[in-house]
Amino acid sequence: MKGLLLRPLVYVLGFVFAAISLDAGAQKIYYRDKTEQMPVVNQDRTVTFRYYAPGADTVKVSGDFLSSGQRPALMKNNGNGLWEYTTVNPVGPEIYAYSYIVDGQKVLDPLNMFVWRNISDLYNIFIIDGQRTANYQIKDVPHGTVSSVWYPSPSLNRQRRMTVYTPAGYERGKGKYPVLYLLHGMGGDETAWLDFGRAAQILDNLIAQGKAQPMIVVMPNGNPAEQAAPLENSDGYNMPLFFLPKTMDGSFEESFKDIVSFVDKNYRTVRKRRGRAIAGLSMGGFQSLYISANWPELFGAVALFSPAVSVQEEFKSNNIYRDIDLKWKAQMEKNPPLYWIGVGKIDPLYGEVECLRKKFDLCSYPYTYFESQGSHVWTEWRIYLEEFTQLLFK
């Protein structure tokens, strides 16, 4: 509190801001709550969560730090209104998402301001430092630029927003760069790979270490019904649907040429097959599979991260999805791309991916297979991005 007394003007401004700008009288609460940060990583690397809810009947904590499939953990009321839970086991280095469930309602942690959005849901984030998370953090290396860019999509008859990472030095240089098109899953939009995916940090760090080539990374919005992320589109203050129309019906894949055309026109790109890669997770893996199979001349590298593979019955006759075996034959038999498939051992889509691999094996299509321990979660997809980008454009 010493700083406050020494700096009255700063205090007054802070008070003015907290009291009037947004909190309208709640400034006491504003400060009181901010004396500690949750969750707490203990010496033995177990993690303790606390939630203040004196009148609640049950408080649970939920998140991907729990073992996969584990129900939300019941917290214990310590008698003064504070509910507490400490993990049974140490929690390894990772970025984790969590939230609380208070009397059946999912709420955020008021003591943790690190929040990422997944379509219409918010999650608190905590990070345990370690080797695993080293490349997810901001280091003192040259940083690329991350831009939100609007592009015209004649196929979808609207402007749409994408995120573009240009590597350090791009702006002041003259050279041409290869492009990785990086697609999110059903639970995401053009911001997902930046937040949960740490794409900018992973690329910054790998490029600085000489492990990845400098590349442009284009992260479009893979939901054709959406112009852009919520509150960044013309829908204004309307909650987005989780199940958007046009999901995996072929229209995003059809519109992909608009993206490649815009990028090749507006950025200094290597406008050749060897200068383009496409990768995506889950739904984005599905899209990468079908986009690259339909336009094999565009992509010198393809990666499927925990991909969905099967086409929904109602869309099976769409141009994009039909005759996939013939399309693979054309894509894979002569001059096949670097084809990379990653999936976690306990991913519910493991069987679907196994089936795809069997088909590829049967035809002797070449691909690199990467199997991780986890499930259908961002922890795996960050690892896959780190692995795949090191193989690219070399």
Residue 199 or 332: which CB sits closer to a second copy?
A: 199
User: Does 232 contact a second copy by CB under 8 A?
Assistant: yes
Please state the φ and ψ torsions of residue 237, each to the nearest 5 degrees.
-85, 65
Angle at Cα 390 formed by Cα 388 and Cα 392, nearest 5°?
75
User: Does 42 contact a second copy by CB under 8 A?
Assistant: no
User: Does 209 contact a second copy by CB under 8 A?
Assistant: no
Residue 143 or 327: which CB sits closer to a second copy?
A: 143
* Cβ at position 14, least distance to a second copy in Å: 6
Return d(Cα 347, Cα 333) in angstroms, integer: 29
User: Does 171 contact a second copy by CB under 8 A?
Assistant: yes
User: Does 134 contact a second copy by CB under 8 A?
Assistant: no
* Cβ at position 330, least distance to a second copy in Å: 25
User: Does 320 contact a second copy by CB under 8 A?
Assistant: no
Please state the φ and ψ torsions of residue 84, each to the nearest 5 degrees.
-140, 145
Return d(Cα 151, Cα 258) in angstroms, integer: 8
Instruction: Please pick, from the candidates 42, 48, 78, 147, the single residue that binds a second copy as defined by CB under 8 A.
Output: 147
What single DSSP character describes residue 177? B
Please state the φ and ψ torsions of residue 48, each to the nearest 5 degrees.
-110, 130
Instruction: Tell me which stretch binds a second copy (CB under 8 A): 21-29, 214-222, 324-332, 364-372.
Output: 21-29
User: Does 53 contact a second copy by CB under 8 A?
Assistant: yes
Q: Total residues at the site for a second copy (CB under 8 A)? A: 123
Q: Are 346 and 317 a contacting pair, CB within 8 Å? A: no
Rounded to the nearest 10 degrees, how much is the dihedral formed by the CA atoms of 69, 306, 218, 196? 20
* Cβ at position 185, least distance to a second copy in Å: 7
Q: Using alpha carbons, list the distances in angstroms from residue 257 to 71, 151, 217, 233.
A: 43, 12, 16, 22
Long-range Cβ contacts of 241-246 (<8 Å, 24+ apart): 241/120, 242/119, 242/120, 242/187
Considering only residues 238-267, where is the footprint of a second copy by CB under 8 A?
238-239, 242-243, 245, 247-248, 265-266
Residue 171 or 362: which CB sits closer to a second copy?
A: 171
> Cα 339 vs. chain centroid, distance in angstroms?
21
Residue 60 or 276: which CB sits closer to a second copy?
A: 60
Considering only residues 322-381, where is the footprint of a second copy by CB under 8 A?
348-349, 375-378
User: Does 68 contact a second copy by CB under 8 A?
Assistant: yes
Considering only residues 272-311, where is the footprint of a second copy by CB under 8 A?
282-283, 308, 310-311
User: Does 122 contact a second copy by CB under 8 A?
Assistant: yes
